[in-house]
């Protein structure tokens, strides 16, 4: 039987705080000093969990980066893998994703078959996640690397159909992703429509740059927001507190 400690932590954070805030760290995009400082400050700033991942792994030391991040924080550290090669026993869990918005078999099932034995061997908690790319106004790294087309941002019905299929296939989370550094975040109308047609928790990420962006997605029905790029650029912990406070609709995070 698979333990669900991290998944339970996420759900409790969402229920207790009104919405969950996940900080995404990409070791390819920031120096170790920068991302370790973020990891150390994350809990005090109101972050609920840390995702670690990258679309295009330039560094050969991904596992060492995850280990260092885990040592720097008491928060759950969850791998958000771009490929099975990013699996490491240093983390607590992994978003076991299938790129259901695309039709590339490698990202629908191929990478998952390669990664499943490693997940078991490493004792990682798998969190089955339906990963859906949403058109953002620019071609992001994940679009290019996966060789898939995103769901058009005005096609709420297509997004809803994919999310319902994910729920019926037994996925535990649905992740609407505009892509790192997206020009436009996932539309509020799409978040609202998808949240209204499924019962599984909804993550929304990509292009969220302000407290208002985060709050609007939670108000529209998202359970969690994922923010990374803006913190890589700014490294301002007071601003991180503002983002988490806007996400946690049931409480305010102390300064």
Whether 253 is covered by a domain: the verdict is: no
Both tokens assigned to 84: 């099975």
Ordered per-residue pLDDT tens for the chain, 255 residues: 567 899 999 999 999 999 999 999 999 888 888 999 999 999 999 999 999 998 766 566 899 999 999 999 999 999 999 999 999 999 999 999 999 999 999 999 999 999 999 999 999 999 999 999 999 988 888 888 899 999 999 999 999 999 999 999 999 999 999 987 789 999 999 999 999 999 999 999 999 999 999 999 999 999 999 999 788 767 789 999 999 999 998 875 444
Q: What is the pLDDT of residue 87?
A: 96
Whether 138 is covered by a domain: the verdict is: yes
Q: What is the pLDDT of residue 24?
A: 96
Whether 14 is covered by a domain: the verdict is: no
Q: What is the pLDDT of residue 253?
A: 45
Whether 17 is covered by a domain: the verdict is: no
Query: Whole domain around residue 28: which residue ranges?
Result: 5-9+24-246
Q: What is the pLDDT of residue 254?
A: 47
> How far apart are alpha carbons 120 and 123 in whole angstroms?
5
Q: Say how many domains are in the chain.
A: 1
Whether 180 is covered by a domain: the verdict is: yes
Whether 28 is covered by a domain: the verdict is: yes
> Residue 91 is part of a domain; what is its CATH number?
3.20.20.390
Q: What is the pLDDT of residue 59?
A: 65
Total-model pTM:
0.95
Q: What is the pLDDT of residue 3?
A: 74
């Amino acid at each position: 039987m698979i333990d669900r400690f991290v998944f339970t932590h996420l759900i409790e954070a969402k229920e207790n705080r009104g919405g969950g805030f996940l900080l995404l760290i990409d070791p390819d995009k920031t120096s170790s000093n920068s991302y370790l400082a973020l990891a150390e400050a994350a809990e005090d700033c109101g972050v609920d969990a840390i995702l670690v991942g990258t679309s295009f792994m330039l560094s050969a030391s991904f596992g060492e980066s995850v280990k260092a991040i885990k040592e720097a924080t008491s928060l759950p550290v969850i791998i958000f893998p771009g490929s099975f090669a990013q699996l490491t026993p240093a983390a607590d869990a992994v978003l076991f994703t299938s790129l259901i918005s695309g039709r590339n078999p490698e990202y629908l099932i191929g990478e998952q078959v390669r990664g499943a034995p490693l997940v078991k061997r490493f004792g990682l908690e798998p969190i089955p996640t339906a990963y859906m790319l949403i058109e953002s106004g620019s071609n992001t790294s994940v679009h290019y690397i996966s060789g898939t087309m995103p769901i058009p941002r005005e096609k709420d019905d297509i997004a809803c159909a994919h999310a319902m299929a994910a729920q019926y296939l037994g996925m535990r989370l649905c992740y609407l992703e505009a892509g790192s550094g997206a020009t436009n975040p996932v539309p509020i109308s799409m978040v609202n429509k998808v949240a209204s047609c499924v019962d599984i928790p909804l993550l929304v990420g990509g292009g969220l740059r302000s407290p208002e962006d985060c709050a609007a997605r939670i108000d529209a029905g998202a359970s969690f927001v994922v923010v990374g790029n803006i913190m890589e650029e700014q490294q301002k912990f007071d601003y991180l507190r503002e983002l988490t406070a806007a996400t946690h609709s049931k409480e305010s995070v102390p300064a």
